[in-house]
């Protein structure tokens, strides 16, 4: 048997229906904040991610699905969306046309990671990017959109952690102090952290390893290196979060690995999903446009891992929630009624009702059971008598009440119910 590719999953049934309800929230909440959807191709030039995510990151260093296409170009299945959104924004001049450009997206991402619960090689993200504003209110708008999406989907057991990385000057000063300190303590660090120290020193602060923790605890604090501008930006973000009633904790060790982040970074974490504790995150990435070859454009965004949000939802609820349902199941008794009933079904579908009919030519009893399984709200039944009289029997599945209705009147009858 040929099975699904390792680290990838089929989505169906109750779980998929729960995803679709979440997707409705992505769409409607994004629209409520004035964000428009952008769909980019799943394949991009490898160079886009090399530049836009960074050579020194795990993603680019060892997790990308890259290959040469038949024309000899190196292309990559996207491992994240921000670089692609920025590429498209530059290519189509979005920000020149609209000084604040608000974009959302949802779709599959690909990373060759070691699969485990909550970590897949094809996973999905919903996210948004606010392009063109350097001001803290853009950071807060982005956090607020993410927070409201999570709240509306119905998850509650998560924490919003925020931190600031300051502006480029502050970060450079801090980086120097941190590297000096870490080099002096290199013997006490894990292999992983030693490697990070050389390539991306701020990432050492991210280490969850017990061996690294005492070293990190004594490390210089970024907050001591923030200049006035950096402090004011962060203060404004915190004040506006308070005003918006969005609860958060300040985690001074949160750095979110990528070099191009500046000022606000944030993460939504949960203790409910074991080791995969991040359900989403984001931050301000003012330097990214110029890295990808565009004009300097301040920007801030987030992405949520849809699998993890859905796992949390299922865990909190103990189930996927709402069962499937249709409006009508059409039951025919005998051969003669089958075609006329099918015509009524077609008419109802054009009116917007969902209608399912039996395709197995089964007994009435079996069709009734099937109607139940489909979660039909009504059945309409037609046999030889009804056919002769030009009627159908409409049954309300919840109450068991049934009524004979002229076949030309079914739509009207249903709207009254």
The CA-atom distances, in angstroms, between 368 and each of 21, 321, 333, 399, 403 are 28, 24, 11, 15, 16
**Out of 35, 94, 105, 120, the residue judged to bind ligand AMP by CB under 6 A:** 120
Give the integer Cα–Cα distance in Å for 188 and 191.
Answer: 10
The piece of 83-91, 278-286, 370-378, 381-389 that touches ligand AMP (CB under 6 A) is: 278-286
User: Quick check: 51 binds ligand AMP (CB under 6 A)?
Assistant: no
Residues 28-47, mask of contacts with ligand AMP (x by CB under 6 A): --------------------
Least CB distance to ligand AMP at residue 282 (A)? 8
3-state secondary structure of 196: helix
Q: How many Cβ atoms sit within 10 Å of the Cβ of residue 366? A: 13
200 scored as a contact of ligand AMP (CB under 6 A): no
Q: Decide whether 109 or 170 has the Cβ nearer to ligand AMP.
A: 109
- Report the interhelical angle of 13-32 vs 136-153 (nearest 10°): 150
Give the up-direction half-sphere exposure of residue 255: CA atoms within 13 A in the CB hemisphere. 21
The yes or no reply on residue 347 touching ligand AMP (CB under 6 A) is: no
**CA neighbor of 297 nearest in space, from 257, 262, 258, 256:** 262
Size of site (CB under 6 A) for ligand AMP: 15
Binding ligand AMP (rule: CB under 6 A), the pick from 308, 328, 357, 394 is 308
Q: Which of residues 113 and 316 has its CB atom nearest to ligand AMP in the complex?
A: 113
Other C-beta atoms closer than 10 Å to the C-beta of 277 total 17
206 lies in the site for ligand AMP, by CB under 6 A: no
Least spacing, CB of residue 254 vs ligand AMP, in Å: 12
- 283 binds ligand AMP, rule: CB under 6 A: no
Least gap, CB of 126 to ligand AMP (angstroms) = 10
Give, in degrees to the nearest 5, the angle at Cα 120 between 119 and 126: 85
Residue 52 as a binder of ligand AMP (CB under 6 A): the answer is no
- Hey, how many other C-beta atoms are within 10 angstroms of the C-beta on 124? 20
Contact between 307 and ligand AMP by CB under 6 A: the answer reads: yes
Q: What is the DSSP letter of 119?
A: B
Tell me if 282 sits within 8 A of 146, measured CB to CB: yes
Question: Judged by CB, which is closer to ligand AMP: 9, or 194?
Answer: 9
Q: Which of 290, 285, 267, 286 lies closest to 277, judged by CA?
A: 267
H or E stretch at 224: none
Nearer residue to ligand AMP within complex by CB, 304 or 344: 304
Closer to ligand AMP by CB, 145 or 414: give it.
145
Applying CB under 6 A, does 364 fall inside the site for ligand AMP? no
From CA 197, how far away is CA 358, in angstroms rounded? Answer: 65
Q: Does 111 sit near ligand AMP (CB under 6 A)? A: yes
DSSP 292: H
Nearer to ligand AMP, 15 or 411 (CB): 15
Interface residues with ligand AMP (CB under 6 A) are 80, 111, 113, 119-120, 123, 125, 278-281, 303, 305, 307-308
């Amino acid at each position: 048997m040929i099975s699904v590719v390792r680290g990838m999953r089929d989505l169906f049934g109750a779980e998929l229906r729960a995803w679709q309800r979440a997707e409705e929230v992505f769409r409607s909440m994004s629209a409520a904040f004035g964000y428009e959807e952008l769909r980019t191709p799943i394949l991009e030039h490898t160079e886009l991610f090399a530049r836009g995510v960074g050579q020194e990151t795990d993603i680019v260093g060892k997790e990308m699905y890259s290959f040469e296409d038949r024309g000899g170009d190196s292309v990559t299945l996207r491992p994240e969306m921000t670089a692609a959104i920025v590429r498209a924004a530059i290519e189509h001049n979005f920000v020149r046309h609209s000084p604040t450009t608000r974009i959302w997206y949802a779709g599959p991402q690909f990373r060759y990671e070691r699969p485990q619960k909550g970590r897949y090689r094809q996973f999905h993200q919903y996210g948004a990017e606010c392009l063109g504003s350097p001001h803290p209110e853009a950071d807060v708008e982005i956090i607020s959109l993410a927070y409201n999406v999570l709240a509306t989907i119905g998850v509650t057991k998560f924490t919003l952690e925020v931190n600031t990385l300051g502006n480029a000057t502050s970060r450079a000063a801090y980086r120097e102090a941190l590297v000096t300190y870490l080099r002096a303590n290199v013997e006490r660090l894990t292999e992983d952290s030693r490697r990070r120290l050389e390539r991306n020193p701020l990432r050492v602060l991210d280490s969850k390893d017990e061996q690294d923790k005492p070293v990190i605890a004594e490390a210089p604090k970024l907050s001591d290196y923030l200049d006035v501008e950096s402090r004011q930006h962060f203060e404004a973000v915190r004040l506006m979060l308070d005003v918006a009633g969005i609860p958060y904790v300040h985690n001074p060790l949160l750095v979110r690995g990528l070099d191009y982040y500046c000022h606000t970074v944030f993460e939504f974490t949960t203790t409910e999903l074991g080791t995969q504790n991040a359900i989403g995150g984001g931050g301000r990435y003012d330097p990214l446009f110029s890295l990808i070859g565009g004009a300097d454009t301040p920007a801030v965004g987030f992405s949520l891992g849809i699998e993890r949000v859905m796992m949390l939802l299922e865990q909190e609820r103990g189930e996927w929630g709402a069962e499937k349902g249709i409006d009508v199941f059409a039951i025919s008794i005998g051969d003669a009624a089958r075609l006329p009933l099918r015509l009524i079904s077609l008419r109802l579908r054009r009116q917007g009702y969902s209608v399912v009919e039996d395709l197995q030519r089964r007994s009435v009893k079996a069709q009734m059971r099937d109607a139940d399984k489909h979660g039909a709200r009504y059945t309409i039944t037609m046999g030889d008598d009804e056919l002769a009289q030009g009627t159908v029997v409409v049954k309300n599945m919840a109450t068991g009440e049934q009524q004979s209705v002229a076949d030309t009147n079914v739509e009207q009858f249903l709207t009254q119910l």
